[in-house]
Amino acid sequence: MIKNILQVGAGTIFFIWGNWFAESDLRPELLGMAIGIIAALSIELIYFLYTERYFLQLYLNCLILKRNSELRLSIAYIFKIEVRGKYLLVKNSRFNIPTYQPVGGVYKYFHPEATKVLSNMSVVADNAIDNDEKSEFDLRQKMSKRKNIRKFLKWFFGSIERESDPWREFYEELVATKILPSEKFKYIYYDLTGQHFEPIHFDNYFNIDTLKYVDVYTPRFVNQQQKDELDKIFLIKSDEYIWVTEDEISKKFSRDGKRISDHAHKIFFTKKLN
């Protein structure tokens, strides 16, 4: 930003000097320098608008309209796991009525490495939720001044000082629960197939403006044994997980009446943002 301001200043000085004050033999050179600076700034602007095109509306809200307002952040990832045209959802029992959702959860940041960095961006733990051992260091945070949102996104997409491997939630929800056998699932490969964030909206439950971001991963299983295990649990009925179609996910209920989470449809997002 400082560099761009200095460039604008230099270009303006060269233009004014060359247009009104310079000797005739020096004028073309000064005007040429001014045009060169303008051209370089134009290229930088076009590059910025292209690379940040998905975030421009977000920046308008956060950098101009409500710079110093609070913003709740929920930065998560989910898995799109498909067998024979159906998708795997696991039970979430935190609510009075059990809900089924994609495997996944909120990213974690590394403590203490990222704690100071986030604090400098006015990002602190969200005290509206119970921060127990399981949720400690989640990227479910509160930004006291949303003008820092671009700094936060640059930090997040840099994948430094934060969890970048989605294996933890896959393990906790499918392997540790013995839905899949640990001896066959010591690790998996995966592809990042989608990225999505909702426009900032007011969350009535938390009583605050909220930004929700999610990465969508598709597993690439290491060997045929892992694929066979998925086929096995596809044929077994369980209260801990269900296999449902895209149509059932869109209706938020399975054919046998099980409730499906509001965010389950996000597994079908395939746009890459960066």
Kindly state the percentage of the chain with pLDDT values over 70: 90
Partners of 210 in beta bridges: 72, 201
Domain check: are 47 and 74 in the same one? Answer: no
Enumerate residues 6+ apart whose C-beta is below 8 A from 68.
145, 146, 147
Report helix, strand or coil for 177. Answer: coil
Average pLDDT over residues 132-152: 89
pLDDT above 90 for 93: no
Residue 11: is its pLDDT beyond 70? no
The pLDDT score that the predictor gives to residue 38 is: 83
User: Is 268:244 a contact under the CB 8 Å cutoff?
Assistant: no
165 in a structural domain: yes
Contacts 24+ apart (CB under 8 A), 34-40: 37/7, 37/8, 37/10, 37/11, 38/11, 40/7
155 and 210 belong to one structural domain: yes
85 and 200 housed in the same domain: yes
**Contact (Cβ atoms closer than 8 angstroms) between residue 88 and residue 243:** yes
Q: Are residues 46 and 78 in the same domain?
A: no
pLDDT at 170: 96
Read off the pLDDT band of 97 (50, 70, 90). Answer: confident
Residues 46 and 74 in one domain: no
Mean pLDDT of 132-156: 90
pLDDT at position 47? 86
pLDDT on residue 70: 95
- Which pLDDT value is given to residue 20? 72
Q: If we measure between CA atoms, which residue out of 255, 194, 231 comes closest to residue 82?
A: 231
What is the tens place of the pLDDT at every residue in 24-67?
A: 777 777 677 777 788 888 888 888 888 899 999 999 999 999 99
Residue 118 domain flag:
yes
Q: Residues 38, 77: one domain?
A: no
pLDDT of res. 131? 62
Residue 162 sits at φ, ψ, to 5 deg, of -150, 160
Average pLDDT over every residue of 239-253: 97
Regarding predicted confidence, which is higher, 90 or 94?
Answer: 90
E-state strands within 55-110: 71-79, 82-83, 86-92, 99-101, 104-106
Pair (10, 82) in one structural domain: no
Q: How many structural domains are present in the chain?
A: 2
For tokens 């409500």, name the residue.
Answer: 66
pLDDT at 177: 96
* Structural domain contains residue 58: no
63: helix, strand or coil: helix
Contact 140, 129 (CB under 8 A): yes
| Same-domain check for residues 114 and 217 | yes
What's the whole-number mean pLDDT along residues 80-102? 91
For residue 229, tell me if it sits in a domain. yes
**CA 141/CA 162 separation, integer angstroms:** 14
List pLDDT tens digits, range 152-182.
999 999 989 999 999 999 999 999 999 999 9
Predicted confidence at residue 76, as pLDDT, reads 97
Residue 61 lies in a domain: no
At residue 133, does pLDDT exceed 80? Answer: no
Q: Is the domain of 37 the same as that of 161?
A: no
Question: 273 in a domain, yes or no?
Answer: no
46 and 83 together in one domain: no
Three-state DSSP class for residue 210: strand
Are 87 and 214 found together in one domain?
Answer: yes
- Write the pLDDT tens digit of every residue in 205-241: 889 999 999 999 999 988 999 999 999 999 999 999 9
Q: Is 149 found in the same domain as 178?
A: yes
Contact 231, 83 (CB under 8 A): yes
Residue 145 has pLDDT above 90, yes or no: yes
Determine the structural domain holding residue 189 and report its residue range.
69-268
Mean pLDDT across the stretch 248-256?
96
Residue 88 located in a structural domain: yes
In this prediction, residue 130 carries a pLDDT of: 66
- Asked if the structure places residue 57 within a domain, the reply is no
